[in-house]
A and B are shown apart, each in its own frame.
Chain A
């Protein structure tokens, strides 16, 4: 702050001004007062002296003699003495010969004395050349009255006043100098305190609320103000914290909502929209829409209509609800409620958008399913009923014909049975009622068994049937019966839809994946050169009763449930089903089945930790002890570690020997074998080498440096706690304890 604007300067200037004013006033005023006091004192004295003088001066004296006596007396008194006759003639004077003096009858003091007995005057005397005080009294003691006049030059008094003024000046200058110093000190202190308050208010304005900013001392008003400010800061801070917590709550609720949420005001302007609404309407995540028209959020004609309907409706009683079809076949259900203030005035509307595309799809699937299942069941039933009725009403005479009829009935009832069996299998699989056996199976055996079943059928139809099995196929884990059923369904389809002269081939090979869930998986594919499936039917292929060619497939004896069963078996085994097809060229259905060794979640774990972290050692030790045998545990520290003896003790309690755990350098690690990186503190994470993109990363952010200090029992307890925590984490990691 510039000096001239500061409080100190202003205070000092103000004070200096007052002192100067005071100085000038006292300077001017004191002279007058002193002069008045002095003259009135002199007047009183002269009156007394005049009386004394009148007794001394005999009325007989005249001329030279009177002058002489006057001179004597005046010298003693230190004044000038003049004796004047009532007519103004000077009878005697102490300084000049009376005979030469002019008539004094017109002198004001003389006139005054003649009128009232005493008279006085201060005027410039032409006779002596300076200001004189004249005091005259009438002496009526003699035969004729005469006037005695005492006068004194006032030059002395000017001198007195001058010296007095000098004294006052010196005193005042001294006092005001001292006062100025005090004023400066006081105003500086005040300025500092006010400045501190300014600092405080600036901090508050900038959004930081300092706690106990002002020291608690003193009792004056400023201290009170300061204490109030202190308290205010604390209160505001608390309030803001509360508001932030509330806001955070609302924000996280909005964020976590699966539904899109848009708040509009009564004119259709957007007030708020959450992330999911942004995603739903394909909006950029960082663009602000507050204040924008709803048309800027979505300009779909249906949405425009919807907003108009919402604005027109009175949503206070019941929730507005509507299903709207958006582009790309998406469906949303919109619920709207109105926002009202205390007086029931509408403030706006909350629109909640549920994505019901999937529900709509499932509805279609279910409706199709019900229609299909009744149709599928009725077809054989109608045939059975027709033939049985014929046999009952007019049984054919020819037993061979009735035999023929009965065969047809038998065939259809078989079909009905098959259909019901499939439906039951499917519903069991779906409900999870069937417990899958978990046996180790050689995929090759399975394929050969299925091939046996279909060999005859294929050769009868003129379809070449072959297989191609990798010699080194990993063992898979699963339920042999279900897997056989899966393969039967697939091969059955392939043979069914491949015309004579076509090929059906089963291949089995190990998965390329060296890591993760698909490590050691087996990919079994059934490849045919049949009629193929149009691309638009592929996504719905595994739905129940979904048929590509509605007329033809039933002729071939399918139930429409085969692929649905396949899908469920694959899912139950944790595998993957992939169907690729080109119309008129053939279809490849491949199934990836998890291998025996893929049960573990990870096969390589890398620990990154800084030196001397007891925690990391324990984590590493535990992982080595708990992780499945195939899992490799790597550790990368920056330095060789020293293990806290108590940590070793705790580990030994748990039956883990960590004395022979060795750490290897980062360079020695085969990065592609690492599935999981565990970092134990921030800095180590930075030194983490570039890992393959799918690598999981786990961070234990609690390296506690204080853990290794303190009372032995406390340390032991702390170590045990850490140990248990790590054990839970590691076990969860490897899902050994589901």
Chain B
């Protein structure tokens, strides 16, 4: 009776961990989307609201950490569960960083909103869309243990990198043309860099998922394998 209770509690805790990770993912996705909206639509109150909401992400980060440590201490899981919990521990760090990036974007948006718009934003919303999708898919891969999807996320990173260098070239050309734009162009470049970092974090998550499922590390290698 007692052991059954413990097992049930353990199962529930694992489920809660999974839910929390997804919740955190959903939250940072929303943060990114709104952050980029605040930039594109020059909506300063929205940006401030997002900076305000970052504490929710941080709170979830702490909560997930606690949950993982409790699971490890109380149940001494082995095998798949152990890999799942340790991966979850690492994923939260990445998600928390992504949340910070969203805050950074908002800060740049607030600064940019004080000045006239440098250029219409076309690539930045696209980058945001792709990185958001990457976070979504990497977490989907995490909960479904889908390595195919995880590998797709790793491959999608290239697209964001390309867009980033495109934005970089563009902002540099603005700066060369007119030194007055340097301040704004730099900030736009920062935003692009933040998004690129977000995509990198999503890639990290995807790589950890591959490790979790297959026990095979695909980190720090040049060519992403076609399949595992």
Contacts and interface: CB of A to CB of B under 8 A. Distances in A.
B91 interface: no
Contact of A295 (B23, B30, B33, B136): B23
B207 to A, nearest CB: 21
Nearest to A297: B22
Interface stretch (A47-55, A298-306, A361-369): A298-306
Interface in B132-190: 136, 139, 143
A299 B31 CA distance: 13
Given A293-B15, A327-B33, A301 B26 contact: yes
B30 A301 contact: yes
Binding site secondary structure of chain B: helix
A295 B27 contact: no
A248 interface: no
A240 to B, nearest CB: 33
Contacts of B29: 299-300
Nearest to B15: A293
Interface string A300-331: 11011000000000000000000000010000
Interface string A280-295: 0000000000000101
Interface residues of A, number: 10
Interface in B1-31: 15, 18-19, 22-23, 25-27, 29-30
B19 A293 contact: yes
A301 B50 CA distance: 13
B22 A296 contact: yes
B22 A300 contact: no
A299 B15 contact: no
Contact of A300 (B15, B18, B26, B143): B26
B8 to A, nearest CB: 12
Given A327-B30, A327-B33, A299 B139 contact: yes
A660 B33 CA distance: 69
Contacts of A295: 18-19, 22-23, 26
Query: Which of B22, B27, B33, B136 is the most central at the interface, judged by chain A CB atoms within 10 Å of its CB?
Result: B22
Interface string B100-119: 00000000000000000000
Contacts of B56: 301
Query: Which of A295, A298, A303, A327 is the most central at the interface, judged by chain B CB atoms within 10 Å of its CB?
Result: A295
A293 B19 CA distance: 7
Contacts of A301: 23, 26-27, 30, 56
A301 B25 CA distance: 9
Contacts, number: 32
Query: Which of A298, A299, A300, A304 is the most central at the interface, judged by chain B CB atoms within 10 Å of its CB?
Result: A299
A298 B27 CA distance: 11
Given A293-B15, A293-B18, A293-B19, A299 B25 contact: yes
A299 B33 contact: no
Interface in B28-51: 29-30, 33
A17 B110 CA distance: 100
A584 to B, nearest CB: 13
A272 B29 CA distance: 26
A298 B136 CA distance: 10
A304 B33 contact: no
A293 B33 contact: no
Given A299-B139, A327-B33, A293 B22 contact: yes
B26 A296 contact: no
A304 B26 contact: yes
Contacts of B26: 295, 298-301, 303-304
Contacts of B22: 293, 295-296, 299
Contacts of A303: 26
B23 A304 contact: yes
Contacts of B27: 301
B76 to A, nearest CB: 25
A164 to B, nearest CB: 74
A300 B19 contact: no
B69 to A, nearest CB: 21
B134 to A, nearest CB: 14
Interface in A256-271: none
Given A295-B23, A299-B22, A303-B26, 15 more contacts: A293-B18, A293-B19, A293-B22, A295-B18, A295-B22, A296-B22, A296-B143, A298-B26, A299-B23, A299-B26, A299-B139, A300-B30, A301-B30, A304-B26, A327-B33
Closest 7 CB pairs of A and B: A299-B26, A295-B22, A299-B22, A295-B19, A301-B27, A293-B19, A304-B23
Interface of B: 15, 18-19, 22-23, 25-27, 29-30, 33, 56, 136, 139, 143
20 contacts: A293-B15, A293-B18, A293-B19, A293-B22, A295-B18, A295-B23, A295-B26, A296-B143, A298-B26, A299-B25, A299-B26, A299-B29, A299-B136, A299-B139, A300-B29, A300-B30, A301-B23, A301-B27, A304-B23, A304-B26
